[in-house]
Chains A and B, each alone.
Chain A
Amino acid sequence: MKLIIINYGAGNIKSIQFAFKRLGVEAILSNNIDEIRNADKVIFPGVGEASSAMKMLQESGLDKIIPTLKQPVLGICLGMQLMCNLSEEGNTKGLGIFNVDVKKFSKSVKVPQMGWNVIADLKSDLFKGIKDKEFMYLVHSFYAEKCDEMIAKTDYEIEYASALQKDNFYGVQFHPEKSGIKGSKILENFLKL
């Protein structure tokens, strides 16, 4: 099993590495295009601001490579948002893998949403063995709207897509690496896809 975490300078990737280590799998950080192409599984992480993260992807040419990958790819948090069409954060054009836009939460709720909320209507092998309305840890100010590619939804003032899937591409808004044993189970499921 060759597992690569795309390393483009965005976010705290140590926690993801450690989460896989607890599952007995070494996750290698890489920005090398050949290495990413030849991996069995790819993690696309991201924490921070959308437009600057997108710029870092463009500078390394990874924005062209990621949408052409054929193996299972998992975007986490901002990684998932960057796989969408257009984000209101910095008016950023994303990779367009998921046909949905990313909006900002309204002022009627506290922003960022920070803490544990449930994921519901689970629709993918990614969630095998996970019960409906399981708790996951989320930290975000922007959200993907409900759409055809939604495989989990969460309610924070409105219902939004907390996970997406299209072909070999998966995205989760929550942090499975920080969501206790259930989050760990989702990462394990991803390794088995």
Chain B
Amino acid sequence: MLTKRIVPCLDIKNGRTVKGVNFVNLIDAGDPVVLAKQYADLGADELVFLDIAATLENRGTTLDMVLKVAEQVNIPFTVGGGISSVEHVDALLKCGADKVSINSSAVKRPALINELADKFGSQCVVVAIDAKQVDGDWFVYLAGGTIPTEIKLFEWAKEVAKRGAGEILFTSMNHDGTKAGFANEALAHLSSLVNIPIIASGGAGTIEHFVDTFKEGKSDAALAASVFHFGEIPILDLKKALKEHNIPVRI
């Protein structure tokens, strides 16, 4: 049986991880390669690197980081942040990234999804969607949640799937940072609308939240940052607990 995936997310700036990561016995907590290896050893199923300061000038630094991660890490990883062209994706994949995540650039030019899926295959195209629920309706936001749009989440999700996205990474801005649980109602609705895997993001605080997002939210994978970085939820403990709840996981 296909297992549910646990995905730690690392924020990258100038080729280094930021926002603090607090592993015991770690000499260099800013080195993405060291962290990625550590997570792979601890049982993470996949990793996401989000380049939060993605600029044209920094592109070379990020490519160099991707190359180093691919060289040393033996589980799949996704790279996101500031990706808006076929050439850029080509360069990232050639450096060894398994998937790329696009967000604002897909909203600005939806044909980018088709172009990437046609050239590299749907399996490496993750469309990240940041959305906020306002008076009952979910709206898509751009540029890391700073720019509102009139685009409705569920319509957009259907469109990205139709255009060839291989996966949707959905972040609820209402839940992100709250540590009060994932947006399970919206996640379950997404899963019923599209036939591609959905990664839940935003709101992880306890092990119970992960159980809920796999059971109630029908999520295929769950992404989190701080609860993993600061050891609040050890991945192995999380997976054992999920297994006790009859949720299929890789241990």
Contacts and interface: CB of A to CB of B under 8 A. Distances in A.
B3 interface: yes
Contacts of B1: 117-118, 155-156
B57 to A, nearest CB: 24
B221 A115 contact: yes
A116 B167 contact: no
Contact of B74 (A113, A156, A181): A181
Contacts of B46: 115
A96 interface: no
A181 B40 CA distance: 10
Interface in A143-193: 155-156, 175, 177-181, 183-184
A112 B71 contact: no
Nearest to A105: B195
A138 B166 CA distance: 13
Main secondary structure on chain B at its contact with chain A? Answer: loop
Nearest to B45: A116
Nearest to A10: B121
Interface in A104-118: 107, 110-118
B3 A47 contact: no
B96 A115 contact: no
Contacts of B2: 113, 115-117, 138, 156
Nearest to A156: B2
A139 interface: yes
Given A12-B96, A113-B2, A141 B122 contact: yes
Interface string B58-91: 0000000001001110111000000000000000
Interface centre among A12, A155, A156 (most CB of B within 10 A): A12
A34 to B, nearest CB: 26
Interface centre among A113, A138, A141, A178 (most CB of B within 10 A): A178
B93 interface: yes
Given A112-B196, A180-B40, A180-B74, A18 B96 contact: yes
B75 A180 contact: yes
A178 B75 contact: yes
B98 A15 contact: yes
Interface string A115-129: 111100000000000
B94 interface: yes
Contacts of A139: 76, 123, 166
Interface string A19-63: 101100000000000000000000000011100000000000000
B250 interface: yes
B5 interface: yes
A21 B71 contact: yes
B196 A183 contact: no
B30 interface: no
B196 A116 contact: no
Contact of A48 (B40, B74, B121, B196): B121
B53 interface: no
Nearest to B166: A112
Given A18-B71, A115-B46, A139-B76, 8 more contacts: A49-B118, A116-B250, A135-B3, A155-B1, A156-B2, A180-B75, A181-B74, A184-B74
Interface of A: 12, 14-15, 18-19, 21-22, 47-49, 107, 110-118, 135, 137-141, 155-156, 175, 177-181, 183-184
Interface of B: 1-5, 40, 45-46, 67, 70-72, 74-76, 93-98, 118, 120-124, 166-167, 195-197, 220-221, 250
Interchain residue pairs A-B with the least CB separation, the first 7: A14-B96, A48-B121, A116-B250, A139-B123, A135-B250, A117-B2, A178-B76
16 contacts: A14-B96, A18-B70, A18-B72, A19-B74, A22-B74, A107-B195, A111-B195, A114-B220, A115-B3, A135-B3, A139-B76, A141-B123, A156-B1, A156-B2, A177-B74, A179-B75
